[in-house]
Amino acid sequence: MMKKRFAMMLTAATLAFGLSGCVSRSQFMLVSDGKPVAEIVVDAPEGSPLNAAAQEFRHWVGEISGAKLDIVKAPSGNFPNAIAFSADQSILDKYPEDAKKLAGNDGYATRLDGNTLHIFGSRPKGALNGAFKILFKNTDIIWARPNKEFGTLFSQNPNLVFDDCDHVDVPAYIMRGWQFPHGVTQQEFEWCIRNSANWTNASNGSNQRNKQYGMWEEAYFGHNLTGLYIRGNKYGESHPEYFSERNGKRLLPGKAGMSQLCFSNQEMTKDFIKEFDIRVAARPEASMYGVFIEDNYQTCQCKNCMEDIKLPDGTSIDKDDHRFLSTRFFLFLNQVAKHAKIKYPDKKIQVYGYFFTEIPPAIDVEDNVIVLLCPIYKNVKFPVTAPQNEYTGKRLNAWLKAAKDIIMYEYFGLTNEFPRPADVAFAQDLIYQYENGINKIHTELMSDDTSRPDSQTWKSRGLESWKSNAIYFWVMNELKWNPYANINKLRKEFLQRVYREAAPYVEKYLQLTEKAWRASSERSTWNTPSANSWASLADLGYYQEACALLDQAKAIVKDPKTKKMVEELADPLHNNTYLKDWMKQKELVDKFNANPPAYKDLAVNGDFETTTEDQAGEDTAKEWLGTKIKGWSFWWLEPQGKYGIALTEGVNNSKCLFMDNVKNSCFIQGYDTKPGRVWLITCKVKKSDPEDKPHIFIRWVKPDGKWLDQWDRYFRDPVDKTKDGWYTIQAVVTVPEGAGCLRALLGCNGCNGRILFDDYHAYDITE
């Protein structure tokens, strides 16, 4: 263990002082007066990434210089210089020190030998990475966005000379990827490869594009227990016992909507292994195969699944142990893995560390299992080691001890249109993970595809996100290659190459937005709306300055692509409904606070004193289902814990609502309303667990009763100081177009303790 740790420290030190070790700097000319003075030499089978390297290199040299370089299999003698792409053993033998560093990864080396510039790797993908990296090092090109019109920026240069020709560059993370919500488009795929990623969600498919660009290849990515292996349409009628039992009924996929499997059912496991063999036979070229839980908590509650689990050391865990559900799953999964280890010794099984498997099991995990760890609850304002991410950090550290191999599945690329500088925490997380043995990562990322609908749902709000966050997405991509790189230098590199003469103004604008983002105490996760960040920008008095900076930037730029990038950056600021609403809302809230009695409280039974069943005389409330409080209904994702009326725990010992240890649940009250109306909703809250995050959640319903496709709003932050444990949260919202009803939800996503709600009020404060 000490040897392994020492090796990791040496590698970390190497990275910290720069992965690129230049031994000399010699000039190499490619184009003179717009005419080629070099040719590209590559001799590789059709479809090899070496050919892709030659084609991409020629394309971008042509774009920059106007010259089209020839591609030949052997030096022709027609040009004085040559660029040779290779992954041959002969070139590795010629540079043994480079070969040693490049072994087992897709890094690259560039070496100038006389009039030949060698760009090579231990793998063809390494030479492809080298094609882009050497262009980046020797020109001002940057692949800033996956946008064909203006996403790639560079200066014209008819006399193209490389100054940096001798170095070796090795990535820290051997898997570096991005996952786009709707599947990766061609432009997004090209943005990934040109920024040296080697995984996209297209890696799940067997296709020539992956092979051509040397991408990771795997099979059956995504939630698939009941969608791929034990399918409802095949086993539902004949073997309903294979699926989760909930409240005495089996949940069949396609009928109940959501189900896991009955993991204790050995006959199901036998059929699962048969199905697994069928899937491996269909995709023999893959290196790993996904066996992923479904995207829900609908685990089986049959008698066998809920029995205590006996552990190898003779002890037992019961259903109340936090490791119970994960252990039940891995008891099943280990049987599949043991079978695979014998039949497919060179293959791996990939599983989620997600939802109930984000907690490691109380048993060993087979060593041919790769855990795809998904820290979905992480607050990206802080690194995983920070107290604000204690929940996620504990689970990561536990998996570091429990798993032989981990791939990080991150959410840093999911954000709204506010500039979110998550690259700082991302870098710290990458270093921590890398120094603890993790070297594979892919991150969900918003789509920059103009053909997709521009709505407010998280899967299609990508265009707005990219306008503000291209710099942070690019920096995070660079950090996957070298997490020890200086973030400020990376940001400045992007600013200079993209915004050019306007870079100082854009930099100051981003400094203001970063201050505003960090000033808000709101958590920042994959689904946090940007409204509070924009409000923070205005609260701090930065709005006018921010507008002036981007106006100055637009006025000074000359290059059409740079101008477009500035306009894109400015659009979310200048055409911002959140800011307009915030200004309107602030004025109305100030008037309300000056004279609250002048407004009618529209809440029904906001003190929770009226119930449909008298519970007087009871010291504690009973667990109840249904609607037994006047004006209120209740919803939960699954029956767990308790909720109801607490008779004497409210403010001044009154009645109040309570929920205990429930998951994804809420009390609900709705109001008819119209677009443009402004509502103020307040509620007092008390909690026993300081980690719980009770909220007011605002949703919208159309006049026809269907949910409106509108990004919903969470309000968690207290608006006054706690008193006797009570504090107030408030929601201020403007009704969007298309809404006919406001639904206010009092709840908590993942309540670990007891939460109380009291003194609820709802006002339409529109004048």
Q: Give the model confidence (pLDDT) of 298-314 as tens digits.
A: 999 999 999 999 998 89
Q: Could you say which residues of the chain have pLDDT below 50?
A: 1-25, 256, 614-625
pLDDT in tens, 715-752: 777 888 777 899 999 999 999 999 999 999 999 877 88
Q: Phi first, then psi: what are they for 140, rounded to 5°?
A: -105, 20
Q: What angle, rounded to 10 degrees, do the helices at 560-574 and 503-519 form?
A: 30
Task: Give pLDDT, residue 711.
Answer: 58
Task: Give pLDDT, residue 53.
Answer: 98
pLDDT in tens, 200-219: 999 987 788 899 999 999 99
Task: Give pLDDT, residue 182.
Answer: 79
Q: For residue 229, what is the DSSP state? A: I
**Is 693 within 8 Å of 523 (Cβ atoms)?**
yes
What are the structural domains of the chain? 20-170 (3.30.379.10), 597-764 (2.60.120.260)
Q: For residue 226, what is the DSSP state? A: I
**Is 495 within 8 Å of 507 (Cβ atoms)?**
yes
Q: Is the dihedral of CA 607, 610, 613, 615 positive or negative?
A: positive
The whole-angstrom separation of Cα 9 and Cα 12 is: 5
Task: Give pLDDT, residue 13.
Answer: 38
**Where does residue 434 rank: exposed (0-12), middle (13-18), buried (19+ CB within 10 A)?**
buried
The whole-angstrom separation of Cα 11 and Cα 457 is: 42
Task: Give pLDDT, residue 621.
Answer: 39
Task: Give pLDDT, residue 532.
Answer: 84
The whole-angstrom separation of Cα 746 and Cα 204 is: 40
pTM of the model: 0.86
